[in-house]
């Protein structure tokens, strides 16, 4: 945040938010809810600020009251993670999609509002010393890495997401199954040796990040019940 060379719009905006949420000599934000839309078929996805037991219990509660909610655990946590949610150990990012950039979808807006209210109700109950009951287990998708689009020597795209994989977020991708389709019509298979569950498939904002999709492993976590 102190790097004077970071002066682009997003860099300056990040510094402004950081100054508001983490002022000097103050505790900072207790919890953060960061709302996002995505062009990928992510449905209602929650990415926690950390793997703290409180966050996992919150996510288990949300998954129980709305089975369509999915939980994705990122690869990076802590103050150095390049996400707004990293400014607090408690809270999460909510991703809602698929939705085109710049478009308001009333149904998805309502779903997001309901989810935010559920989170605030949970936090309020916790603050009043009357925590809401949570399940003893939680299904999560743990990120294990990302894959870029095939590119040539100067970085130009040479393929698109294969039609059989497009919009298949959270569905199993087995070794040898189609992953990309080159612009010359060649099908390129998934080269891994184990089954994965891709997410953020063909996310528009990730082209510049050289990410065609994020690969995850599906896991079951046992939790302490509240």
Q: pLDDT (tens digit, 9 = 90+) per residue, 110-146? A: 999 999 999 999 999 999 999 999 999 999 999 999 9
End-to-end Cα separation, the chain, in angstroms: 37
Residue listed under structure tokens 């998954």: 63
User: What six digits make up the tokens of 86?
Assistant: 């990293």
Global confidence as pTM: 0.89
pLDDT single digits (tens) 5-49:
555 665 666 567 656 666 555 566 788 899 999 999 999 999 999
CB-CB contact of 72 with 46 (8 Å) = yes
Distance CA 84, CA 7 (A): 18
Average of per-residue pLDDT across 61-71: 97
Residues linked to residue 44 through DSSP beta bridges, in sequence order? 69, 96
Please, what are the domains in the chain? 9-140 (3.40.630.10), 145-210 (2.20.25.160)
Distance CA 98, CA 112 (A): 13
pLDDT at site 5? 59
User: What six digits make up the tokens of 217?
Assistant: 């492993």
Confidence band of 87 (pLDDT split at 50, 70, 90): confident
- By residue count, the chain amounts to 226
Specify the higher pLDDT residue, 69 or 4: 69
Helix, strand or coil for residue 190? Answer: coil
pLDDT single digits (tens) 155-176:
999 999 999 999 999 999 999 9
- The overall average pLDDT reported for the chain is 89
Confidence band of 224 (pLDDT split at 50, 70, 90): confident
Helix, strand or coil for residue 187? Answer: strand
pLDDT-wise least confident of 18-22, 92-96, 150-154, 175-179 = 18-22
């Amino acid at each position: 945040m102190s790097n004077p060379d970071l002066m682009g719009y997003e860099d300056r905006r990040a510094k402004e938010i950081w100054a508001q949420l983490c002022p000097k000599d103050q505790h900072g934000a207790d919890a953060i809810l960061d709302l996002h839309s995505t062009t990928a078929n992510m449905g209602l996805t929650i990415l926690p600020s950390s793997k703290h037991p409180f966050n996992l219990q919150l996510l288990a509660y949300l998954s129980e009251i709305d089975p369509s909610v999915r939980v994705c655990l990122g690869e990076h946590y802590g103050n150095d993670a390049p996400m707004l949610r990293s400014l607090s150990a408690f809270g999460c990012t909510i991703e809602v999609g698929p939705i085109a950039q710049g478009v308001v979808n009333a149904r998805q807006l309502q779903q997001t509002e309901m989810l935010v209210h559920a989170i605030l109700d949970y936090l309020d109950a916790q603050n009043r010393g009357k925590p809401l009951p949570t399940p003893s287990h939680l299904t999560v998708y743990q990120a294990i890495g990302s894959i870029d689009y095939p590119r040539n020597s100067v970085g130009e795209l040479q393929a698109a997401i294969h039609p059989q994989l497009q919009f298949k977020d959270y569905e199993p991708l087995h070794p040898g199954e189609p992953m990309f389709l080159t612009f010359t019509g060649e099908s390129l298979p998934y080269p891994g040796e184990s089954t994965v569950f891709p997410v953020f498939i063909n996310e528009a904002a990730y082209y510049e990040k050289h990410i065609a999709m994020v690969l995850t492993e599906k896991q079951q976590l046992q939790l302490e019940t509240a």
